[in-house]
Every structure is written in C-alpha cells, then in structure tokens.
Structure 1
Amino acid sequence: MALRPHCHPRHPARLNRMRHLRLASDPADTDSQPLDRSITVKDAAALLGCDDSTVRRLLEAGEFEGHRIGVKKRGVRIYLSSVQMYRERNALAKQPKNRSSESTRSPPHRSPATTAEHKEAMAFLKSIGVRFSPR
C-alpha cells in the first residue's frame, strides 16, 4: 500500500497543490527521486535569507522539489540541489546590466528651447522682472 500526502476528503485540491512533494516511503517513486541531501524548511529559509513562510509558498508554487516525512502537514524536506538551483536562477535574473560605461558618462546636454512660444514666454517673464541665470 503506497502512502500519499495527507489529504482531507473534503479538500482533494490540496493533493493537486502538493503533487511536487513525494513521500519518502513511496516505493513507486524510488526511480524518480534524486539521491540528494534534503534539508528542513527552516534550513532552506536560512540559506535563502528569507522567512519559513516564503519557502513554503515557493514550495507550493513548485520552485523547489521535496518530499514528505510522514503525513503531518509540516513534515516536509526540501532537496538541497533544488534550493541551489533556485538561487542560481534568481542570481541570473537579478544581475545588473553592465553599466560601468554608463556611469562615467555625463548627462546628456540639453539645448535651450527655441520655439516661438518659448521665446515669447521668456520675453514676457523678462518684461515683468523675472530674472533667469544660465545653468
């Protein structure tokens, strides 16, 4: 008899949300389970520098692979390799673009507006006593 994740009879959708988790004692999944070290949710949160609840949300979203320990809701272990792959994916996504050449450039030069409306507005302001200093 194969064990399955805890699923309340009134909430069968919970099983679908947790399909990415495998029971460690399920013999049908032995071929698909990676031979990898598994860590607790708390340890994964410490590695990622975030809260346990964030790791659980990412686990439910399928960002991590893991397995259940027993039938308790919180009895979850996450494969360390999936945490490392998540960090690599996010490190690539968060890398800043090469801006070293942009940071040495001066801001673009703006030439003064030379439209007729602008000249007229400037003449009016000058006539009422507003003074402008060049930049």
Structure 2
Amino acid sequence: MTSRILVVEDEIFVAAEIEYVIAEMGHEPVGVAADQETALKLAARADIALVDLNLQDGPTGMSIGRILAQTHGVTVLFMTANPSQLGNGIPGTLGVLPKPVTERELKQAVTFAVARHRDIEATPPQRLKLFNWGGQMAASA
C-alpha cells in the first residue's frame, strides 16, 4: 500500500534525492516544501512528513512538525544535522534521524514511519532517536 510522503527540506538537491528514494520505494512524494507556508499548504495531502529544522524561512521545522502531527494527523520524522535542537522532541512526532543520511538509512526510516503511521510495530533505524510521549513510543513493548 502506497503512502503519501511530504518532504520538508530547503536544499533542493537533498530534497530531490529524498523524493527519488520515496518514489523508488513505491510511495507517492506529495511535494517538497522549503518553508512553513508551503508545508502547511501540502499538509492535507500527506500521510508522512520528513522534516528538516532549518528552512528558507528560518528554524521553522519544529513548529511545522508540531502542526503537521497535532493538527493534520501526519506521522512526522525529523531529519536534521542539528538533532540537539529538538531536545526531548515534539509531542506527537516519531523521532529524529541525524544527517547526513545514507540511502539505506533513508529507506529504513521511511519504512519505519510508514509502519508506525499504519500502527504496525517496526524496528527503527539504528541512528534514529525515538521520542516517547505517553503511549506514542515508536517501538512498543
């Protein structure tokens, strides 16, 4: 079953590579958002979002992730070179994968996010730091 995945990333070459991998895996890339306005316009079309923190309009990734998860029911996975900026995470989001990311790690992260969106247990990629929000722990006991 295909998932619709939004890429929130302002570096176009990185975004294009992520979209390519998503499509290669059989999922539907719903678009690339380089800022909060674009991300929120595309929110209704997404099941899952891969979100960078620092975008064209500044460090808006955290608020984008929060809005996508809490308002639109999107499964959010952060991908950033600055994972410490997230502290203990954003309620309702899965976790953070530190950049740079290999193609294999990206595929594992997408597979994990798709499984969690469908409420299926899955093993997270090794470098993925999971957030725990009262029953929202990505890897259930």
Q: TM-score range by the shorter chain?
A: under 0.3
Q: Which has the larger radius of gyration?
A: 1
Structure with higher strand content: 2
With structure 2 as the length reference, what TM-score do the two structures score?
0.27
